[in-house]
Amino acid sequence: MSDRGYIDRVREANDIVDYIGEVVKLRRAGSDYSALCPFHDEKTPSFTVSPRKQIFHCFGCGVGGDVIAFAMRYDNLDFVPALEALAMRAGIPPQHPVTGAEQRAAAERDQLLEVNRRAQAAFVRWLRGDDRKALEYARRRGLTDDLIDRFGLGYAPPAWDTLLRTLVAAGISVGRAVAAGLIVPRQGGGGGYDRFRDRLTFPIREPGGEVIAFGGRTLGVDQAKYLNSPESLIFKKGETLFGLDVSQHEIRGRDVALCVEGYMDAITLHAYGFGHTVAVLGTALTRHHVRRLKRYSLNLLLLFDGDAAGLRAALRALEVTLNEGLSVRVATLPQGHDPDSLLRDQGAGGMEVCLATAAPLFEFAVRELLAQTGGHDLASRLKALREILPVGRSLNDAAEQRLFVEHVAAAFDLPVERVAEEIAPSSGKARSSAVPRRPQTNAASALGEAAFGVVWFLSQHPESFSFLQTHRVDNDFPPGPLRDLMGRLLSLEQFSREALEVGLHAEGGILSGELARRVLSDFAQRTDLTASFNDWLHTLRDRRLQREMEEIAARVRSAEAAGDDERARVEQKALILKRVARKEVPSLIWRGEKKLANLVDTKPNVD
């Protein structure tokens, strides 16, 4: 299947309303949907999703595109990983990328995954080898063989180079093992040594099962009780949740995700029947974590220690879960307990009681702040108030912010007006600085319209590629990134859908956002696209020749002023040739290889 065919297949299999609706609260607005933009703070919805055109656009910050563009921006992915994620979501087998840079990136990713596969197989084998202390430790923690196998637990022997020798024997270079984070290079060169030694190992896997990193729990006297792989091309700690590969189906079934702070806690909870548990990896809950979990459930249950650290975690969680459309509750462990000790002392029933006492995240944060500041005199209440107000300022929806103010006023026993005064000055300032500037792409000019129109026409009708290439239409584009993109495309032997898509999504998607805006506001209203295409071609060439004529005329005047009659005659001849060329512009016509459908009735592929 061609690159265009594969991309179109993935796009068509992921309805943009369904996909965006999983992570953004959409409201019907006529034939389209509207929402508060997930990419900048706003009070009034300016984010539009068109089911008919299968594109989105924010008229506030300018971002836009198709479902691939949304996945890239929302999940912070490059084009190829976003395409792969959407393909996996739709059950479409992956297709190898076609451009050189993408092939190299994909090859690097595959090589790192292969290193991890080899290491995982070795760790699992060593767990049940001659040294059984890791297996015995796991069983003492109440983990059955089934659970050990389900989570893929393994063992890293205590020697300095056991894994290194195993990987090298399998044909893996030291440099590749270092890139995967499994081997630490020796200072001054000369090979390396195993990062994980004498540890129970935990594979950190993507929902699809790929091992992207490892965790390790020491079985000796290492000061670092728990250790994670360093971040790499395939592993970002702040974007990864341990156990999601095992728990994803139960999270959907229960319609709630239980989130804890360590992978041993998560596995123990699974052992006692809480199969909807995931864990963060030595970091606070992030917006990336939240957005991943939203794909499985809009209900999140956090299990915190009942101490100052738990309060800090709650305030951070409040910041990253606001505006995400989630129902978030917090359960606190009894004093002196962690999940393992509570389960051992009181069993699953004790944990059920603990979780049943969970309070809404906002109420929990307010309650804990008041408890820690005293909460009785005005000074203490104002101190606690200032801790939580920045959270309220991040609320996008005006109605939600008013509700927040009322809740805070009631909780802190303060007048609503006082709370509103505290929240208003900073919120307006924050909003004004949070809205990105509109990309400068000659949005109001006919020249900009023509350039984007030609690019969009090519995306819809690749059969026009040879015509554009023959006439080198890229030379007619005004200088800028769109001209550079068209030049790269027309230098290829044949049209590459993927090269076009990657180019549109580059540099933060400025070009794809502007193109989506034009489709929603103008292009999609045109009923004769062939005529529009030719008009755009004429505009671009006419304006280019006009600019060149003005430059030549200036050179003529300069030569005449300098008394250089010979140079003036040469420039005059060049000016005459440009005038002739400009008169011939209307003859530049693409008649098409087939009748083009009325654009209003099509589903354009726009980024």
Mean pLDDT in residue range 12-24: 87
- Is residue 441 included in any domain, yes or no? no
pLDDT(599) > 60? no
The residue among 606, 581, 592, 593 whose CA lies nearest residue 476 is 581
> b/e per residue, 480-510, with b = 16+ CB within 10 A?
eebbebbeebbeeeebbbbbbbbbbbbeebb
Same structural domain, 137 and 34: no
- Is residue 261 included in any domain, yes or no? no
Mean pLDDT in residue range 38-44: 84
Q: How many angstroms separate the Cα of 68 from the Cα of each of 55, 286, 505, 523?
A: 10, 22, 9, 20
Encode pLDDT of 557-589 as tens digits: 888 888 888 888 888 888 888 888 888 888 888
- Is residue 407 included in any domain, yes or no? yes
Mean pLDDT in residue range 41-59: 88
Same structural domain, 415 and 470: no
- pTM, two decimals, is 0.65
Chain CA centroid to CA 209, Å: 20
Which two three-digit tokens encode residue 450? Answer: 């023509």
User: Helix axis angle, 481-490 relative to 446-460, nearest 10°?
Assistant: 30
Mean pLDDT in residue range 591-596: 54
Average pLDDT, the chain: 83
The CA distance from 317 to 311, in Å, is 10
| 67: CATH | 3.90.580.10
What is the pLDDT at residue 570? Answer: 87
The dihedral through the CA atoms of 329, 335, 339, 342 has a sign that is: negative
Of 59, 89, 119, at which residue does a domain stop?
Answer: 89
Of 434, 458, 480, at which residue does a domain stop?
Answer: 434
Encode pLDDT of 81-96 as tens digits: 888 888 888 878 777 6
- Is residue 223 included in any domain, yes or no? yes
The dihedral through the CA atoms of 166, 172, 177, 180 has a sign that is: negative
The CA distance from 362 to 13, in Å, is 38
pLDDT(372) > 90? no
Helix (H, G, I), strand (E, B) or coil at 379: helix
pLDDT(451) > 80? yes
Same structural domain, 176 and 106: yes
Same structural domain, 465 and 588: yes
Q: What is the tally of structural domains in the chain?
A: 4
Same structural domain, 545 and 564: yes
- Is residue 300 included in any domain, yes or no? no
| 142: CATH | 3.90.980.10
Same structural domain, 576 and 458: yes
Q: Say which residue the tokens 């006919």 belong to.
A: 446
Of 167, 202, 235, at which residue does a domain stop?
Answer: 235
Same structural domain, 454 and 588: yes
Same structural domain, 416 and 557: no
Same structural domain, 389 and 457: no
Q: Answer with the residue of higher pLDDT: 560 or 215.
A: 215
What is the pLDDT at residue 262? Answer: 87
Confidence of residue 601 (pLDDT cuts 50, 70, 90): very low
Same structural domain, 457 and 566: yes
- Is residue 331 included in any domain, yes or no? no
Helix (H, G, I), strand (E, B) or coil at 78: coil
Same structural domain, 538 and 597: yes
What is the pLDDT at residue 338? Answer: 87
Least confident window among 78-92, 172-186, 288-302, 514-528: 514-528
- Is residue 320 included in any domain, yes or no? no
Domain limits at 550?
Answer: 446-601
Same structural domain, 519 and 379: no
pLDDT(137) > 90? yes
pLDDT(596) > 60? no
The CA distance from 410 to 151, in Å, is 46
The CA distance from 145 to 152, in Å, is 10
- Is residue 301 included in any domain, yes or no? no
What is the pLDDT at residue 151? Answer: 97
